[in-house]
């Protein structure tokens, strides 16, 4: 990872989480949605810019701790992209799964277009046509 940044294996502060999602292109969430995400996730990683102290990237794992682990909230502010932050976040999350999960965990994610090259680089493959990601619209 770029030397101007520090990676921390914990959730970001709520205000940073709420800001980072829309500022990086993810859908906004409310405080009532964000607070449970911070405390109920299986794992968290966030990245701070050393000079400013600003949280500029994050990611988390939602899971049961047994066999199912879902990568979520992968986000990097646009002005801090292309510095290896997303890869560092994802590698840290995958390392935690490898270290703490029972053998043969099932690791999934929903891949938006900008993140697909990174996910493929780290070994993720598309599940279609065997399974297809779906959602219930709000």
Domain boundaries, the chain: 5-121
pLDDT band at residue 133, thresholds of 50, 70 and 90?
Answer: confident
pLDDT band at residue 84, thresholds of 50, 70 and 90?
Answer: very high
> Rounded distance, CA 72 to CA 61, Å?
6
- Pairwise pLDDT comparison (97 vs 133), residue with the higher score: 97
Q: CATH number of 5-121: 3.40.630.30, 1.10.150.170, 3.40.50.1950, 3.55.50.30?
A: 3.40.630.30
CA distance to 52, 83, 84, 93, per residue, from 62 (Å)? 29, 25, 23, 11
Report yes or no: 126 and 113 within 8 Å, Cβ to Cβ.
Answer: no
pTM of the model as a whole: 0.94
Q: What are the E-state strand segments in the chain?
A: 5-8, 43-49, 55-63, 68-76, 106-109
Please write the tens of the pLDDT for every residue from 11-69: 999 999 999 999 999 999 999 999 999 999 999 999 999 999 999 999 999 999 999 99
Residue 134 reports pLDDT greater than 90: no
């Amino acid at each position: 990872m770029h030397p101007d940044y520090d990676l921390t294996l914990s959730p970001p502060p709520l205000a940073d989480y709420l800001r980072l999602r829309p500022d990086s292109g993810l859908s906004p969430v409310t405080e009532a949605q964000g607070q449970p995400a911070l405390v109920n996730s299986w794992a968290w990683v966030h990245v701070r810019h050393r000079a400013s102290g600003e949280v500029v990237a994050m990611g988390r794992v939602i899971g049961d701790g047994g066999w199912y682990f879902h990568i979520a909230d992968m986000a990097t502010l646009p002005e801090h992209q292309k510095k290896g932050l997303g890869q560092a976040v994802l590698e840290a999350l995958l390392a935690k799964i490898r270290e703490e999960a029972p053998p043969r965990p099932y690791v999934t994610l929903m891949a938006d277009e900008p993140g697909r090259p990174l996910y493929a680089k780290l070994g993720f493959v598309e599940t279609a046509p065997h399974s297809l990601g779906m959602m219930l619209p709000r």
